[in-house]
């Protein structure tokens, strides 16, 4: 496994994003909506560093199944979404790959008529974007490789790692 972002780099990047979010939402109480399950670690660290009153909610989006390393059919589950009509909303996700997940979630959340809607991603994978939407906040750019750690998984493993790493081909088959 090759480490792409160590724990200190991630801490620094999340702190930078939190400062920017706090400035942009000054005087407001945004709702942070985390995308399960990959964003949990990022969401937890980000919300603890934003010095504003926050509301927290969750949605689920799945496009990877089993040993897949490329996205499949996207499934969205909005059952845990709090009331966001008239609210400032920041959608928080782990990775912006093709962008289909974020694009679909933004479309669904807009139907709820929030006052404002922005998005934050920990990672933006280079060269994979397939939609016009751009995240409003990006922690780090990473190459087009399969990454795990800091909430991201492969077959439900590796989420606990305090860093982001690239799995090599042998690890993807195991």
Residue 21 in tokens: 């979010």
CB-based burial label for 167 (10 Å; 0-12, 13-18, 19+): buried
Cβ contact 137:131 at 8 Å? no
Catalytic one among 51, 97, 103, 144? 97
Q: Does the active-site annotation cover 97?
A: yes
Rounded CA separation 40/135 (Å): 18
Torsion of CA 25, 93, 165, 146, to 10 degrees: -140
Q: Which residues are known catalytic residues?
A: 97
């Amino acid at each position: 496994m090759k480490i792409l972002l160590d724990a200190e780099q991630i801490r620094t990047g999340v702190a930078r994003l939190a400062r920017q979010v706090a400035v942009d939402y000054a005087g407001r109480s945004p709702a942070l909506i985390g995308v399960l399950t990959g964003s949990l670690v990022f969401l937890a660290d980000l919300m603890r560093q934003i010095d504003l009153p926050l509301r927290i909610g969750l949605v689920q989006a799945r496009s990877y199944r089993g040993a897949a390393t490329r996205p499949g059919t996207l499934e969205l589950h909005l059952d845990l979404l709090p009331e966001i009509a008239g609210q400032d909303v920041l959608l928080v996700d782990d990775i912006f790959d093709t962008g289909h997940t974020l694009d679909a979630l933004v479309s669904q959340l807009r139907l709820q008529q929030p006052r404002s809607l922005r998005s934050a991603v920990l990672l933006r994978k280079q060269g994979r974007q397939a939609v016009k939407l751009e995240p409003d906040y990006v922690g780090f750019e990473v190459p087009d490789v399969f990454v795990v750690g800091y909430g991201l998984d492969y077959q439900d493993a590796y989420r606990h790692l305090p860093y982001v790493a690239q799995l090599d081909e042998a690890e993807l088959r195991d």
